[in-house]
Amino acid sequence: MARSSRRSRPSAKRARARGAGREMLVASVVGAVNTANAREPLTRKGRGAVACFFPGWLTSEMPLHAIGWQALATAGFAARGALRSPSGLVGLGLSLGSWATLARLWSEAGDAPHVFERALRDGLGDGLDEATDPMAAVADPAVVRRRLLRGPLANHGKAWIRYRGLSYGEFGKRNHLDIWARDDLPRDGRAPVLLQVHGGAWVIGNKDQQATPLMAHMAERGWICVAINYRLSPRSTWPDHIVDVKRAIAWVKANIADHGGDPDFVAITGGSAGGHLSSLAALSANEPSWQPGFEEVDTSVVAAVPFYGVYDWTNRDGTGLEGMDDFIADNVMKTTLDDDRETWDKASTMSWVGPHAPPFMVVHGTNDTLVPVQQARSFVSMLKAESEQPVVYAELPGAQHAFEVFDSRRTLAAVGAVHRFLASIRAREDHDARSGEPDVPAATQDAVTPEG
């Protein structure tokens, strides 16, 4: 009896090792597939593309974190004896390959500064080196500590938001905005202003969820950033969204001087749906049908920086995501493209491209599964062919949609590049003002209408 009991113990250990090995193999396969999706999306079509977004987004921007979690899981399985089984050894091989690929993703993200440098040089030339800031950057030690402790999820708003929840319209919280600025910003300093429009497919999102690394970077250097909410679908219907963006621009121009800002230098940025709204607002300045009750107010901006934006709702050149028109029809427009093509066309940024466009910096990632990079390429080609102002296009290899939400390597490169772009545009504006070159104010230009 005792002999039988002793023989059963090794058998039980082997059984546990085999079970742990099988579990490790499954976990390793899942990890490897996730890594592969971050490296190259498994699909870029329809609902599959949407499903690929979230895991690819997290992993491609935080590959070292992914290595850490996978390594912890591997260590746990190994402690249970998984490496004493063939399945566990196969799983270990898969994990090692996954970690090597993740390390390569981290390394490739380090090329982002070079991508931005080339894009800025191509678009701005020697003017890139003439930029200056309103104030010298002095990082708050508390901000640095928070960034180190929280890694890619630092809460920048605590350090830089000076005014929260100011009302710019009549629709409650959806018409609120926050002002980001330094405590020591002079009230009469006429600091340049950047207005941020959040994304969220026109149906979700709010002003404190996106572009916080960018706004913190700009605010630290003496700029003012204004982050806005706007009405969302399906409760609201187009064009409520763009009307709110234009109303916010009007509020900024009328009130930002009271907070130390320059109403004559207001740029605009936004990502995804915010990329659509910011680019559309920049190209459709002073369009009266989208300024009900404030038709005569100047809503022009000096520059636009859309991130991974949707530039065409009509999918005129086949570069849109499959199924997006159904989503927009059901939730945003409440009408189909076939039934109201004129309204859909007017809502598309591409329809407004022309020589009147302000300077643009367009940013997009090659791995974007929600808004195909081909649409950004098409939009930029149109801008370069027709605009009389600089056009900068930065296409980031391996970047997913919404990449710059985190303080990742790409994000740090992106915020620095946007800062250089806007500072260069500001330097050019200052030079033109000093030289006395006559510019036609945007407010006096005739309202433009979309083609077709």
Residue 361 has pLDDT above 80, yes or no: yes
Closest CA to 401 of 376, 368, 424: 368
Residue 180 has pLDDT above 90, yes or no: yes
* From 115-129, 146-160, 232-246, 362-376, the region with the lowest mean pLDDT: 146-160
**Beta-strand pair 176-180/161-167:** antiparallel
Predicted confidence at residue 451, as pLDDT, reads 42
Q: Which residues contact 255 (CB under 8 A, 6 or more apart)?
A: none
Q: Which residue has the tokens 């039988």?
A: 4
Predicted confidence at residue 91, as pLDDT, reads 95
Residue 14 has pLDDT above 50, yes or no: yes
Contact 179, 191 (CB under 8 A): no
* From 235-249, 365-379, 420-434, the region with the lowest mean pLDDT: 420-434
Per-domain boundaries in the chain: 2-108, 111-444
**220/212 Cα distance (integer angstroms):** 12
Provide the β-strand partners of residue 167. 176
Proportion of the chain above pLDDT 90, given as a percent: 81
Provide the β-strand partners of residue 270. 197, 306
Secondary-structure class of domain 111-444 per CATH: alpha beta
> For the chain, what is the HEC assignment?
CHHHHHHHHHHHHHHHHHHHHHHHHHHHHHHHHHHHHHHCCCCCCHHHHHHHHHHHHHHHHCHHHHHHHHHHHHHHHHHCCHHHCHHHHHHHHHHHHHHHHHHHHHHHHCCHHHHHHHHHHHHHHHHHHHCCCCCCCCCCHHHHHHHHHHHHHCCCHHHHEEEEEEECCCCHHHHEEEEECCCCCCCCCCEEEEEEECCCCCCCCCCCCCCHHHHHHHHHCCCEEEEECCCCCCCCCCCHHHHHHHHHHHHHHHHHHHHCEEEEEEEEEEECHHHHHHHHHHHCCCCHHHCCCCCCCCCCCCCEEEECCCCCCCCCCCCCCCCHHHHHHHHHHCCCCCCCHHHHHHCCHHHHCCCCCCCEEEEEECCCCCCCHHHHHHHHHHHHHHCCCCEEEEEECCCCCCHHHCCCHHHHHHHHHHHHHHHHHHHHHHHHHHHCCCCCCHHHCCCCCCCC
Predicted confidence at residue 450, as pLDDT, reads 42
Residue 446 has pLDDT above 60, yes or no: no
Report the predicted TM-score, pTM, of the whole model to 2 decimal places.
0.90
Residue 142 has pLDDT above 60, yes or no: no
Provide the β-strand partners of residue 191. 261
Class of residue 42 by CB neighbours under 10 A (exposed 0-12, middle 13-18, buried 19+): middle
Q: What mean pLDDT do residues 268-278 have?
A: 98
Q: What count of other Cβ atoms lies within 10 Å of the Cβ of residue 68?
A: 13
**How far apart, in Å, do the first and last CA atoms of the chain sit?**
91
Q: Which residue has the tokens 């302000």?
A: 358
Q: What mean pLDDT do residues 224-240 have?
A: 98
Residue 158 binned pLDDT confidence (cut-offs 50, 70, 90):
confident
Q: Report the side by side order of strands in the sheet with 360-365.
A: 161-167, 176-180, 224-228, 191-197, 261-271, 304-307, 360-365, 391-396
- Known catalytic residues are 272, 368, 401
Q: What mean pLDDT do residues 79-92 have?
A: 94
Proportion of the chain above pLDDT 70, given as a percent: 90
**241/122 Cα distance (integer angstroms):** 33
Predicted confidence at residue 129, as pLDDT, reads 78
* From 32-36, 73-77, 118-122, 131-135, the region with the lowest mean pLDDT: 131-135
Q: Which residue has the tokens 């290595």?
A: 67
Residue 5 has pLDDT above 90, yes or no: no
Q: What mean pLDDT do residues 108-131 have?
A: 91
Residue 3 binned pLDDT confidence (cut-offs 50, 70, 90):
low
Q: What mean pLDDT do residues 219-225 have?
A: 96
Q: What is the dihedral of CA 416, 244, 348, 298, to 10 degrees?
A: -80
Q: What is the pLDDT of residues 381-407, one digit of tens each?
A: 999 999 999 999 999 999 999 999 989
Residues 185, 191, 193, 194, CA torsion sign: negative
Predicted confidence at residue 2, as pLDDT, reads 52
**201/75 Cα distance (integer angstroms):** 40
